[in-house]
Structure 1
Amino acid sequence: MRRSAITTTARKTLVATLRDNLREQIKSGKFAIGTRLPSEAELTREHLVSRTVVREAIAALRADGLVEPRQGSGVYVLEPQAEIPAPFTNIDSTRLSSVIELLELRTAVEVEAAGLASQRCSPSQEEKIILCLRAVNEANSDRRPSTEADFALHLAIAEATNNPRFPEFIQMIGPNSIPRRALDQSAPQEVPQSYIDRINAEHDQIVNAILGRDDNAARDAMRMHLKGSQERYRNLLRK
């Protein structure tokens, strides 16, 4: 049994070595786009490995989109595919349109999260939501930056769904998903008190509905909060 394990490990190392070697030759242009790789037998002789190692290395290159086997012809080098950027990495929080896009997406997810949280949250999760609510309301009232506290509240609600996909989504989009209270953060004293009071009241309504185990009210409160944010930013676009 031990001998088999060692043999398997050695083969995996040979596969990785051959895969990396061929990948480098493709990237360097030794094997140009559209050309055929050496045959399985040629690669076996050149690199002193088994046919199994060659096949596994070619399979790895195929999975990476670097080569394409063609029946009866051989294995051909493909043109590299454009790298797909990771989701939510090109968000520009200074652009109102980006803020609105995220708010629309958050509305689709977080309305349901609020409803589920109202039915599933544990006592410890309730306590965390209350503490997060207190922190964001105090930051808003004191006219201190509240983005992190706001994000923590929404994350706590997502966690209270007890479905790990909801907090994973919130964490993936990150704090940039929280709209800034004003475009000019350098002058927080200019934020109207009416705005602060409204945001705090909206957060209160969401949390009270969750704690009251009213899933319909929780969804409605979250929808009103995020739809209201969308409307406020759309009004800024019109100016």
Structure 2
Amino acid sequence: MTVAEETKRASTAPKGKATLVTQLVEKLREAIRSGAFQPGERLPSEAQMTAEHAVSRTVIREAIAALKSDGLVEPRQGAGVFVLDAPEPVSLPFQNIDRERVSSVIELLELRTAVEIEAAALAAQRRSPQQEEAILARHRDLFMLIEAGEPTAEADFALHLAIAQATNNPRFPEFLAMIGRSVIPRAALNQGEDPASQQSYLMQIHGEHADIVEAISNGEEAAARAAMKLHLRGSLSRYRQAHQRSLSKI
């Protein structure tokens, strides 16, 4: 029987081929994980596995393809199928950040500075009328919270996110969302300060935001870039100073 005939027969067989493939994949995967098949070792031939597992060659080939996509085996032309070393675990970005550590916060602020300076410039170039309205609305929201003496970190992040969205490049808001709202180190910066000092600090932030928003609204790319650079580098400097003050009290 030809491969084409066997494939056609398998595809029209009454019992599910997918189930047989899944079962065989799990058996072979477990054998590899348990060490029954060592890295560098060749798996049994198609004929041997067909006889051992009572399945067609098509099922064998699809199971091998699944194991290959998982990085567990490597078919070699004319030599057979060989077991590979266990793949290294994938390390997702921003998963090992300790936001209680000064170095982690500073690292994130430095990265935000590099990304958001360009985001502000692109927003000045590309914003739509609706996106400009959203930026202005988030800026007003933040100012109202400052005047009311309410927490501002969420609104601060929302403003930066609206600017990132106005780049019309989805990677910028994706980046901010991946880092998360806690990158705004508001509590650390205000810790131990009296209410009047906190209010003064927040009004300074509001002024920096106003310069960014105005430059974006006016379509001034260079001014938007400069205003965002001043704001985020100022945040980085203020965070370092707050940390130094906390160390001096120990």
Deviation (angstroms), 1:210: 0.7
Question: CA, structure 1 residues 60+72, in 2 after alignment: closer, same or farther (shift >3 Å)?
Answer: same
Q: Does the alignment pair 1:131 with 2:137?
A: yes
Contact kept in structure 2, 1:143 and 1:188, CA below 8 Å:
no
How do 1:1-239 residues align onto structure 2 when only pairs under 5 Å count? 7=11, 10-70=16-76, 73-182=79-188, 189=195, 192-238=198-244, 239=247
Deviation (angstroms), 1:186: 9.0
Contact kept in structure 2, 1:182 and 1:191, CA below 8 Å:
no
Question: CA, structure 1 residues 107+184, in 2 after alignment: closer, same or farther (shift >3 Å)?
Answer: closer
Question: CA, structure 1 residues 8+147, in 2 after alignment: closer, same or farther (shift >3 Å)?
Answer: farther
Contact kept in structure 1, 2:189 and 2:242, CA below 8 Å:
no
Distance, in Å, in 1 between the alignment partners of 2:76 and 2:135 is 57
Distance, in Å, in 2 between the alignment partners of 1:22 and 1:165 is 39
Distance, in Å, in 1 between the alignment partners of 2:37 and 2:160 is 51
Gaps of 5+ in 2: 1-7
SS at match of 2:188: coil
Contact kept in structure 2, 1:113 and 1:157, CA below 8 Å:
yes
Distance, in Å, in 2 between the alignment partners of 1:70 and 1:98 is 45
Contact kept in structure 2, 1:202 and 1:221, CA below 8 Å:
yes
The more displaced of 51-60 and 163-172 is 51-60
SS at match of 2:81: strand
Deviation (angstroms), 1:219: 0.8
Distance, in Å, in 1 between the alignment partners of 2:149 and 2:192 is 11
Cα RMSD of the aligned pairs, angstroms, is 2.8
Question: CA, structure 1 residues 128+8, in 2 after alignment: closer, same or farther (shift >3 Å)?
Answer: farther
Distance, in Å, in 2 between the alignment partners of 1:139 and 1:157 is 19
Question: CA, structure 1 residues 36+53, in 2 after alignment: closer, same or farther (shift >3 Å)?
Answer: same
Q: Which amino acid aligns with 2:92?
A: A
Question: CA, structure 1 residues 26+223, in 2 after alignment: closer, same or farther (shift >3 Å)?
Answer: same
Contact kept in structure 1, 2:188 and 2:239, CA below 8 Å:
no
Distance, in Å, in 2 between the alignment partners of 1:114 and 1:34 is 52
The TM-score, its normalising length taken from structure 2, stands at: 0.81
Contact kept in structure 2, 1:37 and 1:77, CA below 8 Å:
yes
Question: CA, structure 1 residues 34+217, in 2 after alignment: closer, same or farther (shift >3 Å)?
Answer: same
Q: Which amino acid aligns with 2:157?
A: F
Distance, in Å, in 2 between the alignment partners of 1:19 and 1:76 is 15
- Higher Cα Rg: structure 1 or 2? 2
Distance, in Å, in 2 between the alignment partners of 1:225 and 1:198 is 10
Deviation (angstroms), 1:8: 8.5
The TM-score, its normalising length taken from structure 1, stands at: 0.84
Deviation (angstroms), 1:75: 2.8
CA shift digits 1:182-236 (9 cap, x unpaired): 2676988485333112111111111111111111111111111111111122234
SS at match of 1:192: helix
Gaps of 5+ in 1: none
Q: Which amino acid aligns with 1:142?
A: A
Deviation (angstroms), 1:41: 1.9
Work out the number of aligned pairs and report it. Answer: 235
Deviation (angstroms), 1:72: 5.0
Distance, in Å, in 1 between the alignment partners of 2:166 and 2:118 is 12
